[in-house]
């Protein structure tokens, strides 16, 4: 699953350097398809709502073109009885989003009909604003995206996962600015973004994983910290994947989605950490509602 694109372009992402998931391991993962073609990932956050990336949608929106598959494991087997499909009733794109790599890369999809929760279809919990994750915390990104740049996931297209380490925003910005060819005078990494990966690259999300979740375990519960957003190339050294920071948009999400599940408590948490040498030496105005 590589969150980066090619060259200097900011591209939507897939999973690179990952492995196949087990059936039902990530029951909130959804496949967002347009006119029958897999387009983006997403996550179920209630029985009616899916969280994904704004850059998965082009304007003007054609809501009727989108189908959401829930409980899917292998995209070549969407007729599996564990899998359900829903039409999109409404798509809400955050108004701050302008283009890939910008702030506001977050969107909501309301399903045409609610889903019943099963062992294969369940909502993910979101982190409260109080949760703080330490640099080096190991998290997982999931999706059906490319396994290498321009190399699509082969049939039966089994859901992939990759373990990545959280990287401090300042360190991530330094990595992106370190390119001698970069003449950008603005910051790449905004406050509503979070980075995850390794300075040496090799593991990342890439084209096709966009909109899917970045998940971290806390007190035995999976929390969705990020949304696969953008990157520079696929699993390239010094260009970790960049994700939309879900906590930054808690108030925005609550405007539209009743009954959201948030983590409780104010504990800081840190999963197993990579040693420092591995970490450092490795996007509330009016909304567009359709």
Positions annotated as catalytic residues are 55, 105, 210
Q: How many whole angstroms separate alpha carbon 214 and alpha carbon 10?
A: 18
220, with CB counted inside 10 A (0-12, 13-18, 19+), is exposed
C-alpha distances (whole Å) from 96 to each of 23, 103, 179, 204, 250 are 36, 6, 27, 26, 15
C-alpha distances (whole Å) from 26 to each of 83, 87, 123, 140, 141 are 13, 21, 10, 10, 10
Return the half-sphere exposure (C-beta side, CA atoms, 13 A cut-off) of residue 263. 26
Whether 49 and 66 have beta carbons less than 8 Å apart is answered as: no
Which of 242, 243, 244, 232 minimizes the C-alpha distance to 182?
A: 232
Whether 250 and 131 have beta carbons less than 8 Å apart is answered as: no
| Helix segments in 113-270, DSSP class H | 169-177, 250-256
């Amino acid at each position: 699953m590589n969150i980066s694109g090619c060259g200097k372009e900011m591209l939507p992402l897939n999973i690179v350097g990952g492995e196949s998931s087990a059936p039902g391991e990530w029951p909130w993962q959804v496949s967002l398809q347009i006119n029958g073609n897999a387009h983006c990932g997403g996550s179920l956050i209630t029985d009616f709502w899916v969280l994904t990336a704004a850059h998965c949608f082009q304007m003007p929106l054609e809501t009727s073109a989108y189908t959401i598959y829930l409980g899917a494991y292998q995209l070549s087997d969407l007729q599996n009885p564990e899998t359900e499909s829903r039409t999109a009733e409404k798509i809400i794109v955050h108004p701050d989003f302008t283009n890939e790599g910008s702030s506001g890369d977050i969107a909501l999809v309301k399903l045409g009909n609610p889903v019943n929760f099963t062992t294969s279809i369940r909502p993910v919990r979101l982190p409260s604003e109080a949760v703080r994750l330490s640099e080096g915390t190991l998290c997982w990104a999931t999706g059906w995206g490319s396994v290498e740049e321009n190399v699509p996931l082969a049939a039966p297209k089994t859901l992939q996962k990759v373990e990545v380490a959280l990287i401090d925003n300042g360190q991530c910005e330094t990595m992106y600015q370190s390119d001698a060819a970069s003449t950008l005078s603005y910051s790449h990494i905004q406050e509503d973004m979070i980075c995850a990966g390794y300075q040496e690259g090799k593991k990342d999300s890439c084209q096709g994983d966009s909109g899917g979740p970045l998940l971290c375990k806390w007190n035995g519960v999976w929390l969705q910290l990020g949304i696969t957003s953008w990157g520079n190339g696929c699993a390239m050294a010094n260009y970790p994947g960049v994700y939309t920071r879900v906590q930054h948009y808690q108030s925005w999400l609550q405007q539209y989605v009743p009954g959201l599940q948030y983590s409780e408590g104010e504990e800081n948490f840190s999963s197993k950490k990579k040693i420092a040498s591995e970490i450092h030496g490795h996007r509330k105005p009016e909304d567009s509602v359709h």
